[in-house]
A and B are shown apart, each in its own frame.
Chain A
């Protein structure tokens, strides 16, 4: 990765950033929750041009929410960027 790309990656707070493991998804740069249900959670990122990210799966538990960060635990099936 080039240096410029790394700087953009680290300091771009408009793009959604998702860290996903087997049973955990961490959303960063989240601005708000758009939709929440038993099997899917959709969050938006960015202020002017909104980008949406959806996680689908089962047995979701929102472990932590606040300060642009959302931690979800459960069975993850897919992560979609819209």
Chain B
């Protein structure tokens, strides 16, 4: 026990001492008798030697050596020696304490959020839901109400059958398992409109297709995968936003589905050209005529009169054929006078929304086979 204590004392705080004086062997013998352990003693010359002793033995060694030997401490080692050294450097101590405190304080804040196991629910939606529950990067971890966050997830996403919400170090881990059955909006909570279409539209998985041909000017997507981009010319019936979303597997399951379906939503503005032909009477009855309804009472329409008539026809046509949000960008008129009529060729360039929903029939491919 005493041996162990001496060893601990030596290794916790040891000093390298230089012994100067004649007959170092005498000092060594006396040190041995006094129980002082000397390690790695080097004889440098007839009057000099260097060795390691426990710091606690230094005073004893100096007492034994009396004035015949000069004992000088050269260096030290060991944790206690380091602690003694540090005690003499308050700035370093403050720096180390500050660093420790920064690490300790940082460990109380969430650095990252990892989400696994989701299939049809987009990761962004899960992150948004967590954020609404007070879990986001940088939040003070003890302030998180984990049970409330789990409850919010269950309420917002009724298709989730299992939730693991935990933290590992500074990372919050969310692991979910989803049900494969379709969720009705009644089951979903009041906040679920963002994720599951509500009301009558809930069961529809659909694409957005073009209801007329035109040049796509602008496309903004809420749900789905865009199939065209600004500047493209699309034919009537072309898919603009697909409701079939490819899915990347996040686990090693073999029967992982390769796609899932959503109700595609978005706005597609396009420039649609229209070519219309209007006809109008070439001759009109002159009010200043004889009043007997003879040929002399009729005169040919002037340009202004023909233009006014065709403008009126255009307005009527727009009201009947174009949606309310349509905007005439360009208009071109061309008159040609035939026997009794004036034929007006009108070219309109209209800016309008061209997207309409078209339901996706899931499983049709398989049933056909």
Contacts and interface: CB of A to CB of B under 8 A. Distances in A.
Interface of A: 32-38, 60-67
A36 B41 CA distance: 11
Given A32-B29, A33-B28, A62 B41 contact: yes
A25 B25 CA distance: 18
Given A34-B25, A36-B24, A60 B43 contact: yes
A60 B43 CA distance: 7
Interface string B31-65: 11001111111111110010100000000000000
A60 B37 CA distance: 18
Nearest to B29: A32
13 contacts: A34-B25, A35-B25, A36-B49, A37-B46, A61-B41, A63-B40, A64-B37, A64-B39, A65-B31, A65-B38, A66-B32, A66-B35, A67-B32
A77 to B, nearest CB: 15
Contacts of B24: 36
A61 B35 contact: no
Contact of A66 (B37, B44, B46): B37
Interface of B: 24-25, 28-29, 31-32, 35-46, 49, 51
Contacts of A36: 24-25, 28, 43, 49
B29 A33 contact: yes
Contacts of B44: 38
By Cβ-Cβ distance, the 5 closest A-B pairs, closest first, are: A62-B41, A33-B25, A36-B25, A32-B29, A38-B43
A12 B35 CA distance: 24
A52 B272 CA distance: 117
A62 B37 CA distance: 11
A62 B49 CA distance: 10
Contacts of B32: 32, 65-67
Contacts of B36: 66
Given A35-B25, A38-B43, A62-B38, 13 more contacts: A32-B29, A33-B29, A38-B45, A60-B42, A60-B43, A61-B41, A62-B40, A63-B39, A63-B40, A65-B28, A65-B38, A65-B41, A66-B38
A4 to B, nearest CB: 32
A46 B211 CA distance: 116
B151 to A, nearest CB: 68
B6 to A, nearest CB: 9
Contacts of A67: 32
A19 B38 CA distance: 20
Residue of B28, B36, B51 most packed against chain A (CB within 10 A): B28
Contacts of B43: 36-38, 60, 62
B20 to A, nearest CB: 14
Contacts of B46: 37-38
A80 B309 CA distance: 137
Contacts of A37: 43, 46
